[in-house]
Structure 1
Amino acid sequence: MLKDYVKLHVFVLLFGFTGILGKLISVDSLTLVLYRTLFAALGLYVILYFRKVKIQLSFRDFAVLFGTGLVLGLHWLCFFGSGKLSTVSVSLVTFSTTSFFTGILEPVLFRKKIVLYEIVLGIIVVIGVSIMFSFEIRYLSGILVGLLGAFLAAVFSIVNSRLTHRFDSQVISLVELSAAMFFMAVIFLFAGDFNSLKLSQNDLFWLLILSWVCTVIPHSQMISLMRRISVFTANLSLNLEPVYGVILAYFIFGESEKMSFEFYLGGILVLLTVMLHPILKRRFT
């Protein structure tokens, strides 16, 4: 179990770097997500080809995976959109409310017993985020888009936690990423700027890092980990993503990522929930 938690935090660190890459890549959010899903899906296809894995899914299973992929695509669009509308720190920290949405949605969707301490921890996360942004109102649009992205991430994680016991994690990732790519392509046909498809060498390099190192590896392995850890534990640990990301963003981008004292105070509250969760879990289970 300790090995799984170490893996989890390595993947969280990689996810934390995605916000940095989103700012380093100059294209708009829609083009970014389109290329990310395209490159990631191609990378997974190559891996499955060499693993000689046959993808055999019923129409119903394919439809569920495809629909989940659409949610994933929308989540990424909101995540990067939040960063473009505000700052990397805003997009990362609003994402940390995913655990709050998970604690509410999972019992509702699957008639799971409500765990009181999970709801309390989720509320603490919301309080922390509220403190952070009560003094950063100039980023309201970025905050709202980021919160929508967190809600979608909760839905995506909950559904995936049910799928991971039935399918190979990389097969799940391939179908979902392909669905997200298809959805982004459809949106792009109607709302995209075709001039943005031309990438600079710098953008191409960072997109490949984003797609393969920060998507293919952690995304498929996170799905695999959900066979052994709960979706709430995974999402609560992901609250550390903004902590890692904000620190990285400050050192890479400097003063443009410097936030108010209250922002960091709220961040400490979010961090405390991650530390409290395993203690409370041992005490009450």
Structure 2
Amino acid sequence: MEKPTIHPYIPILIGVISVAMSAIFVKMTTADAGVTAFYRMLFSILLMSPVFLYSYLPEIKKLNRRDWVFSAIAGIFLAFHFILWFESLNYTSVASSTVLVTLQPLFAFAGTYFFFKERLSAKTLISGAVAITGSVVIAYGDFQVSGSALFGDILALIACALITAYLLFGQDVRKRLSLVTYTFIVYSFSTISLFFYIIAKEESFGPYPKEEWMWFILLALIPNLLGHTLFNWAVKWVSTNVISIAILFEPVGAAILAYFILGELVSKSQIIGGSIVIAGLLFFVTDYKKIRKIFFRKSA
């Protein structure tokens, strides 16, 4: 077995912390949700441009008309995922919002069932029921706090559905392209969508104070480029199950960071509901028959 220079769990841990920072950075901004999403995506493609133009530009010849259409649709869904998720953070807590957005596997197997006729196993149904129960506990607790918190929860759930649609439309195109090329194309379509959204909403592109530009750049650099790049590096050395399980703990990291940085307290319903959601999703992504392969994968 080829050994990595550092233990893969270290980059995975850094990756989880990186993506968990996303909600914190959004909370720190004062710009509208669409503007924050636009600059996050714009700075992402600007930072990726040198690598893409130097090494991957010829790869776009592989795309046919259907690929371009699907990539554009995926980019639009990604754009509105960010808009609604960022907006949800204006109404509900980091803990609730990130837990509900993490329900993406539920929407994924619902989408594959309705659109690709994939059968749902008993394990899938059980894990889905458990996770939904947890989300109901969170929503009920937030409703007890205020109606606006519940509204934020609903926005986070819709954002979760949109990120699933983004993945479903992009999965076929991704099979024929490198990660860099596919990401650059979809991020570009997402940025264009957000540009026209801001114009339609008559929101402001600026000027903003220096601190605001710092948050925009950090959103692009840390959650987008650093976090997901580390996951993509680690998947060479460990099972994808490890990555899937690690990402489920993003809400835990986000809630801890929100407590220390933003002073957000975590309610009893959020702790109970979040724990139930994570338990349900862990049950879904963990393959107990191949549990010994979860930690390190043999190279071919």
Asked if residue 129 in structure 1 is aligned to residue 129 in structure 2, the reply is: no
Tell me the distance in 2 between the aligned counterparts of 1:87 and 1:150.
Answer: 16
Q: Give the distance between the partners of 1:152 and 1:118, measured in 2 at CA.
A: 20
Q: Where in structure 2 are the equivalents of 1:93-104 lying within 5 Å?
A: 93-104=99-110
Cα deviations by residue, 1:107-131 (Å, 9 ceiling, x for unpaired): 3222323233123212211111211
Q: What do residues 212-240 of structure 1 show as CA deviations (whole Å, max 9, x unaligned)?
A: 2211344466678899977x986665332
Residue 169 of structure 1: aligned partner = 179
Equivalent in the alignment of 1:19: 23
Q: TM-score, normalised by structure 2?
A: 0.82
Aligned to 1:271: 278
Taking the aligned partners of 1:203 and 1:172, their CA distance within structure 2 comes to 29
Which structure 2 segments of 5+ residues have no match?
292-300
**CA distances 1:6-59 after superposition (whole Å, capped 9, x unpaired):** 755543332211000001122110110111111111112222123354232222
User: Quick one: which of 206, 210, 219 aligns to 1:197?
Assistant: 206
1:269 partner letter: I
Report the Cα offset of residue 270 of structure 1. 2.3
Cα drift, residue 246 of structure 1: 0.7
Structure 2 equivalent of residue 120 of structure 1 = 126
Question: For residues 148 and 32 of structure 1, what CA distance do their matches in structure 2 show?
Answer: 18
Give, in angstroms, the shift of residue 202 of structure 1. 0.9
What amino acid sits opposite 2:122 in the alignment?
Answer: L
CA contact (8 A) 1:83 1:89 kept: no
**CA separation of 1:136/1:108 partners in 2, compared to 1, >3 Å: closer, same or farther?**
same
Q: Which residues in structure 2 correspond to 1:91-240 (within 5 Å)? A: 91-137=97-143, 138=146, 139-194=149-204, 197-219=206-228, 237-240=246-249
CA contact (8 A) 2:24 2:94 kept: yes
The Cα of 1:164 is off from its aligned counterpart by 2.7
Q: Give TM-score, length-normalised by structure 1.
A: 0.86
> Which position in structure 1 is the counterpart of 2:258?
249
Q: In 2 relative to 1, CA 161–211 (structure 1 residues): closer, same or farther, beyond 3 Å?
A: same
Pairwise CA RMSD: 2.9
Q: Take 2:101 and 2:188, find their aligned partners in 1: how far apart are those partners?
A: 23
- Measure, in 1, the Cα distance between the counterparts of 2:65 and 2:234: 26
Alpha-carbon deviation of 1:259? 2.8
Q: Give the superposition deviation at 1:190.
A: 1.5
Task: State the SS of the aligned residue for 1:205.
Answer: helix
Name the structure 1 match of 2:69.
63
Whole-Å Cα distance in 1 between the matches of residues 10 and 113 of structure 2? 27
SS of residue matched to 1:136: helix
Amino acid at match of 1:160: G
Contact 1:98 1:235 in 2 (8 A): no
Look up the match of 1:77.
83
Distance 1:219-1:66 versus aligned 2 partners, 3 A rule:
farther
Bigger radius of gyration, 1 or 2? 2
Identity %: 19
CA distance in 1, matches of 2:167, 2:232: 9
Equivalent in the alignment of 2:32 = 28
CA distance 1:24–1:17, shift in 2 (3 Å): same
Distance 2:96 2:139 in 1: 8
The Cα offsets for residues 85-140 of structure 1, whole Å up to 9 and x where unpaired, read as 22222221210221211121123222323233123212211111211221211111
Q: Give the C-alpha shift of residue 62 in structure 1.
A: 1.4
The whole-number CA distance in structure 2 between the counterparts of 1:66 and 1:220 is 22
- How far, CA to CA, are the matches of 1:281 and 1:69 in structure 2? 36
Contact 2:105–2:281 (Cα < 8 Å) also in 1: no
Which consecutive residues of structure 1, in runs of 5 or more, have no partner in the other structure? none
Letter in 1 for 2:75: G
Which structure shows the bigger proportion of residues in helix conformation? 1
Give the deviation of 1:83 after TM superposition. 0.3
Q: Residues 177 and 48 from structure 1, CA distance in 2 versus in 1: closer, same or farther, beyond 3 angstroms?
A: same
Q: Which has the larger displacement, 31-40 or 163-172?
A: 163-172
